Structure 1
Amino acid sequence: MSNDRFNADRRKLMAGLGALTLASFARPARSAETTRVGSSAQRVIVVGGAIAEVIYALGKAQTLVATDTTCTFPSQALALPKVGYQRTLSAEGLLSFQPTLILASTEAGPPSALDQASRMGVRIVSFAESHDVASVRNKIQGTARALDAAAAGQTLLERFDSQWTQTVQRIAQAQRKPLRVLFLLNPGGNQPMVAGRHTAADAMLTYAGATNAIQDFAGYRALSPEALAACQPDVVLTTDDTLQASGGKQNLLAGAGFQLTPAGRNGCVVSLDTLFLLGFGPRLPDAVAELHRRLFTS
């Protein structure tokens, strides 16, 4: 496809997006990558904070033209143009940056937005989200391949593996009492939710040597004061944003049910940056080590 033909087709799609609904395009089955057509110069959009961290760690920040709003680290990422929140993307917004490559979490969507970008020749590389070390290694290796940074990728992977081994060994050797932890999240100022099994918070607590106080369900749910009191957490873990939205530790623990728990009576609340705590990026060894330290010294 010639550049003139490619640009003409792109302008036609951009002009017609207002008359189309994103839901009218079915998502084709897609493997990790789809073929890119167009310029060989990389113009990268990243959707997913952990992937952005990998790009910066690889020394490839110069390829970035935009990120989504979850990309908050390092601080340089905050200065880049934004395509919106990762789950509410638009094809028009993505294509306006003339990307050649989009690196995205599988949580990115709606699917039709990425499909339309793919149909216009933008290469899409997607990374499955799972809450384990393997997913971090996959992000490092896959991002390095996509950015032609094999040597830097291998160096980063080896450093990550070494740091992870050291963190696991230190936690395994630590003397500690059993600790029940309740993870609380307040998404967008709505009703607080707690993390059950099969969540990023649940995995982080396990890695840090603690026990998730919620074992009755998977995912996130609101919790009644009675259920909160029944789970008897020793510590409440939350994000910095949630703690701020709650008005601080005292206000958070003033909520119904908290004073009937050891965490509430002893004022044990730990908060960490959202991406650092839940992102499962290359800082995972540091995040687990810091979580362990904060939980068992709170």
Structure 2
Amino acid sequence: MYQEKIIHPPSGYLIFFLFLIALAAGVLALVNAFYWTGSLVLAADLILVLPGLIINDPNEAKVLTLFGKYVGTVKSDGFFCVNPLTVKKRVSLRANNLNGQQIKVNDKLGNPIEIAAVVVWQVKETAKATFSVENYMQYVSIQSEAAVRHLANLFPYDNFEDEEASITLKDGAEKVSALLESELSERLDRAGIEVLEARLSHLAYAPEIAGAMLQRQQATAVVAARKQIVEGAVGMVEMALARLSEKGIVELDEERKAAMVSNLLVVLCGERNVSPVVNAGTLYP
């Protein structure tokens, strides 16, 4: 596997100045009817000098190969002169965003879900990106999708069915993103790619089970709310009976206590407002 070799070629301004002088000399020779001399000067100038001049923009690299052999990489920005026979391949060092497509995959429990991720990456080693893979941009796309699929298979969507799950795709966003970034870094290292950030951008149940899962979530929420209401109502009834007994306001036998508890629970736990009935007579027949 090729390792990146950084080279620092000389400035191209002097060579470009000499190129202009040779160009002027060749044209002058042609004007003065020195056709062979002028043609040779112009040919040498255009073939052997001009191709050796390169311009490197900021956050850009030129990978140089000579007769099939890797020569080095120019990462400095500016105007340079290199061997005119080298093949120069431009590689961008800027950060790239990969907005992954939504894919359907099964989570750890076999539930079909839709998932997608956003990956921020950049080329770190130009030699690997150029020579180790055929197309490093396509390689990033395919490996990112494979990593997202593998991650979805490791964890459940939520902990409704697996209460012992410490990490879920829905609630463990930070841990899941860290694991995704780690796996992508390992997969893309072969291509000399550095992963700057990786996060899930979309997560949902597949349409065929989304309705059923929504009903399950709603039922769970209703049960939890009812449980809290009942616990509060029982506490209030207990407090009411204790205060009545403490103050000695009224003496209730077990049957009347049961009736009072039943009425209070209906009032406190009911979904609708109750209509009170005023009893003007005695509590006892």
TM-score by length of 1: 0.23
Structure with bigger strand share is: 2
Could you say which structure has the larger radius of gyration?
2
* TM-score (norm: length of structure 2): 0.23
